[in-house]
Amino acid sequence: MERLIQKLPTKTSPLDIIPVWLLKQCETEFSVIIAHLANASFSRGLFPGSMKSAIVTPLPMKSGLDTSVLTNFRPVSNLSAMSKLLERLAVVRLKPHICSSANWNILQSAYSQGHSTETALCKILDDIIGAADTGHITAFVSLNISTAFDVVDHMIYSPSVWRKSLASLTCAETGSCRT
């Protein structure tokens, strides 16, 4: 937890009750408290309501776009430091399970350390050049799915499913399970 606190950006959100500089200065003391809160949150499968708030700022997707058209903006959320800590702790706990899954693709670029759209593009380009060098015919189809999440019905994801998943993960890690 102390490493996660140290990695926090020093800017403080207006939503922060405790300034980030103070969290970093007293990381040893706060890490015990935050770890206890995180474990309680994960074991119950509940995220504190007070940490579900964000200050959302609309930023233009690209310079030069018409600012009178709302679809030309993307929302940027400014979360509290505590929300960021809990999110990063969840990633630290979940990532080994996700990466060891049979469904995990080693070529996955999104949300993978050391990977980006640039590395994905380099891989694709290398594959195309390699195929051309060996005389294979190659076709490349690229889809823009940037608005895919706008059409997903997020209400189909049952909160109880998420609670059970997180509770079982915490249970497996701590060895103490409650049903």
Average model confidence (pLDDT) across the chain: 80
Contact call for residues 104 and 59 (beta carbons, < 8 A): no
**At 73, is the secondary structure helix, strand, or coil?**
strand
The residue extents of the domains of the chain are 2-104+143-174
Q: What is the pLDDT of residues 35-67, one digit of tens each?
A: 898 888 888 888 888 888 888 888 888 888 888
Q: Categorize the per-residue pLDDT at 179 as very low, low, confident or very high, splitting at 50, 70 and 90.
A: very low
For the CA atoms of 59, 61, 63, 64, the dihedral, rounded to the nearest 10 degrees, stands at: -110
Residue 155 has a pLDDT of 56
Q: What is the pLDDT of residues 1-33, one digit of tens each?
A: 888 899 988 888 888 888 999 999 999 999 999
Distance between CA atoms of residues 112 and 98, nearest Å = 11
> Could you tell me the maximum CA-CA distance found in the chain, to the nearest angstrom?
63
Dig out the tokens for 2 from the structure. 């102390």
Q: Is the per-residue pLDDT at 110 higher than 80?
A: no
Dig out the tokens for 47 from the structure. 């995220």
Q: What is the pLDDT of residues 130-178, one digit of tens each?
A: 999 999 988 888 777 666 656 656 555 555 555 555 555 444 444 444 4
Dig out the tokens for 9 from the structure. 């950006």
Taken in order 69, 75, 76, 79, the sign of the CA dihedral is positive
| Separation of first and last alpha carbons in the chain | 27
Contact call for residues 45 and 164 (beta carbons, < 8 A): yes
Residue 133 has a pLDDT of 93
Contact call for residues 13 and 55 (beta carbons, < 8 A): yes
